[in-house]
Structure 1
């Protein structure tokens, strides 16, 4: 293979030479082994010329993670604050019964599911710097308007369009990470990014507690201010995001040219991120026709029901244990804080051991224990501490398992457009579980919520089954390919690369 740069370029030699060493040489293989980190959180210091890899990755993390993490925190905050608003008088003011509240939640997820894949296609055809802040501005406006609804119809419309506008963020960011980080680095970053959802739960409780005291200012109840203030904050942050969201390494202004060359090289020896892939509909259909894309979607499907029902109904569940509304808001904070810590910790262990399925299964078992505690408590109102303990187990299992499930397409799907579509498919298929879940926690089911908790247990068992299936399917496919041809990781430097259907590609499980 020629050492001349391709259209995107692989840059100059990293050790000060005039040419880039050929792929497959002993020098290049040695460099690749030096560059590949042991985990997303424990990266060896590697120096090549003037570039220190550990310092560069730390620089990427500080530039990328806070920017997209804040947007996702706002997304999860805006979608889940309806649970806090409900116990602050929302239902009474718009004339909404418990079942109608569930309908509003369902409309949100219907809007979400319908537009995820189209949103990722738009992202591929535009840029992250334009698309991600634009989505955030629009959903911030919708969230603000939710505080002004006067009747049930207005509430339903606002919830639907909130789902539409928020649908492109998470799958878009997962794809975005795949264009910056090596395969083994993505899972930790995706888990850390998803951990912002748990932080949103904690911040949501704190904010709702404070904002709830604004009842009597303009409106009798304080729930409107929850939507209005948080929605305005979202718009302001989104407008600023046009300035601090970066596109891809080739155009990032915070990188020097040697750093860009270094990133191109380390991505080229690990993934397809440096390839100049044009959008084609064939690549879209490739994702739609791949059974593994659907299985990744089912993995998130089985986690989305417990994930979203937990965040939407936790304030109500705690209130039904006998706590006042204000205390119920505050008591939602500790379970989410634990969820964040465990999400990051499990992600680190998963990457260090290079195992995904086993940690998803273990986390799902922890969540099942939590729901069993919630169901088994014979007197939730008389013994609220027992049920409250159950919420810690539930949160501590749901969030780590979901984060790992969401990382599978990002590390296993090769082909930029195919990966973007597969990420969108996963979220769309997954959120169908959330649509079902919104109908399970009915007003007259508290405080035991047998139907909701029992269905969550069933779904978590389903997650265990699908994780076992994916483990053996991917392991067997790797063994089949190993008998055909050796693995080649330098896919960014292969002119004949066709994507993850190439037998030289290996899946991680």
Structure 2
């Protein structure tokens, strides 16, 4: 190979999906002057932090209702137990109904415009939750919060695919999903501190939880217009050789796939049993994930702790979950396998729920330890499963089960919560059975190839 840099001709398709012409495999994998590992690290530093922050605030704004409940939400708005559950449910109805329309808008605009705009709008809606004066108004805000957040995760997955190879993007998505558990930790800390604002401006503490966290989202959304980039072909932090190299190494992948939509591809994906297996795997993890994040403050409070104590006690389970999620994502990437890690993580969560169902009521410390194990198992398992099934079909299946999950922790089942804990335990056991069926470990690339046209 010549030591002189080759000039790579680039043709722009008009959507930021440029292709490099006449490149040999050798020049793609090791072009003169381009250090691939250094370039990937450069992309990670520029792309992952803002994406992780977006997802963190998304999960924070959807789950902080559990913290607000402890600070007087239901009392002030005269919300009954069943009405509160419906307020949780309606979020996911809006989420599921508008997920596909939001994806269509994304494809017709750009991630640089669409993702920060989504965030700006949901931040405004989240703020309005704090000034709601009636249950009906609160319901309307929760519904539109689901609508505006529905395009974030699929949008981020699409955005990541524009920069990384398929196998590389799985790892990055798993890392950014760790923000879900990190959001829970921050939510507990914020709720504890904001609880002392009771009476400020004539507002109770729960209102300030929504207002301040919503305004934080609005602020980050404005900043995100400068942090989210369009595509590699226009990224200002890349040199021309780096842009050409990125486009060349992605040639033929989802990012540069110009194949038109065809219903035959959809039918083929629906007939592929691997799509359904992985979809069911994500389905079995979604219910424990959402029920845990929405009800943890209430579960801890019912163990006999005060509202302020319960807010703080939500932090350790999420902190442990965040650390383990990152470690598991790294190990899964290095070994190129995910089933063994999902099996191990789900087993830890199962032990946690068994403790929650069987621990003596008079020993809250034992039950609290069960919540730590549940978090330490749910979040890593869900991150690994979701990163391997990030397609429209599987995401929709997973979010539909969240509608069921919001109705399981009914007030009359307190403090043992047999119904909610029992369902979560059953779903985790089902996840184990599915993972055992996948013991042969079908390569994730095969799944994505078979389902990529359903996105």
- 1:118 is aligned to 2:121: no
What is the match of residue 381 of structure 2? 401
Q: Secondary structure at the match of 2:204?
A: coil
Aligned to 2:3: none
Tell me by how many angstroms 1:152 deviates: 1.2
Could you say which residue in structure 1 is the equivalent of 2:370? 390
Residue number among 195, 219, 223 corresponding to 2:202 in the alignment: 219
Structure 1 position 459, deviation (Å): 0.7
Query: For the Cα contact (< 8 Å) 1:114–1:428, is it kept in 2?
Result: no
Of residues 317, 320, 335, the one that matches 1:353 is: 335
Gap change, CA 1:238 and 1:186, over 3 Å in 2: same
Q: 1:145 deviation in Å?
A: 0.6
Q: CA deviation at 1:164?
A: 1.0
Matches of 1:432 and 1:85, distance apart in 2: 24
In the alignment, the residues of structure 2 paired with residue 20 and residue 260 of structure 1 have an alpha-carbon distance, to the nearest angstrom, of: 14
Distance 1:295 1:247 in 2: 34
1:342 correspondence with 2:285: no
Q: Is the 8 A contact 2:10 2:20 kept in 1?
A: yes
Q: 1:188·1:344 contact (CA, 8 Å) conserved in 2? A: no
Structure 1 residues 323-332 or 289-298, which shifts more? 289-298
Instruction: Give the structure 2 partner of residue 450 of structure 1.
Output: 418
Q: Which of 393, 407, 432 is residue 439 of structure 1 equivalent to?
A: 407
- How big is the shift at 1:470? 4.7
Structure 2 match to 1:500: 449
1:107 is aligned to 2:93: no
Deviation at 1:375, TM superposition (A): 0.8
Query: Deviation string for 1:423-447 (max 9, x for gaps)?
Result: 2332221011211111111122222
- Counterpart CA distance in 2 for 1:166 and 1:120 is 11
Partner of 2:350: 368
Cα distance in structure 1, aligned partners of 2:268 and 2:113: 27
CA distance in 1, matches of 2:204, 2:423: 34
Asked if the contact 2:287/2:427 (under 8 Å) is kept, the reply is yes
Equivalent position of 1:417 in the other structure? none
Query: Which residues in structure 2 correspond to 1:179-328 (within 5 Å)?
Result: 179-219=162-202, 221-268=204-251, 271-277=253-259, 291-328=273-310
Take 2:210 and 2:403, find their aligned partners in 1: how far apart are those partners?
22
- 2:4 is matched with none
- Secondary structure at 2:409 match in 1: coil
Q: Which TM-score applies when normalising by structure 1? A: 0.81
Aligned ranges 1:107-186 → 2 under 5 Å: 107-186=90-169
Q: Which residue number corresponds to residue 38 of structure 2?
A: 55
2:23 corresponds to which residue? 20
Encode CA deviations 1:415-469: one digit per residue, 9 max, x unaligned: xxxxxxxx23322210112111111111222221111111101111122233334
| C-alpha contact 1:90 1:223 (8 A) present in aligned 2 | yes
Q: Give the direction of change, closer, same or farther, for the CA distance of 1:245–1:220 in structure 2 (3 Å limit).
A: closer
Query: Would you say the 8 A contact 1:112–1:428 is kept in 2?
Result: no
Residue 268 of structure 1 deviates from its aligned partner by: 2.8
**By how many angstroms is 1:91 displaced?**
0.3
2: distance between equivalents of 1:284 and 1:236?
Answer: 40
Match of 1:80 among 55, 63, 74: 63
TM-score when scaled to structure 2?
Answer: 0.90
Structure 2: runs of 5+ lacking an equivalent:
1-7
Distance of aligned partners of 1:173 and 1:283 in 2 relative to their CA distance in 1, 3 Å threshold: farther
Write out per-residue CA displacement over residues 301-337 of structure 1, whole angstroms, 9 at most, x where no aligned residue.
1111110111111111111111111111111111111
Deviation at 1:122, TM superposition (A): 2.1
Runs (5+) with no aligned partner, structure 1 = 13-18, 33-46, 411-422, 479-498
Contact persistence 1:297–1:428 (CA under 8 A)? no
**Change in 2 beyond 3 A, CA 1:354/1:164:** same
> Is 1:89 equivalent to 2:72 in the alignment?
yes
Look up the SS of the partner of 1:407 in the other structure.
helix
Aligned to 2:429: 461
Q: How many residues align?
A: 440
CA contact (8 A) 1:10 1:264 kept: yes
Distance 1:232 1:5, change over 3 A: closer
CA contact (8 A) 1:116 1:425 kept: no
Q: Counterpart of 1:440 in 2: which secondary structure?
A: coil
SS at match of 2:226: helix
Q: How does 1:481-496 map onto structure 2 within 5 Å?
A: none
Cα distance change of structure 1 residues 390 and 473 upon mapping to structure 2, 3 Å threshold: closer
CA distance in 1, matches of 2:403, 2:386: 18
The Cα shift of 1:367 comes to 0.6
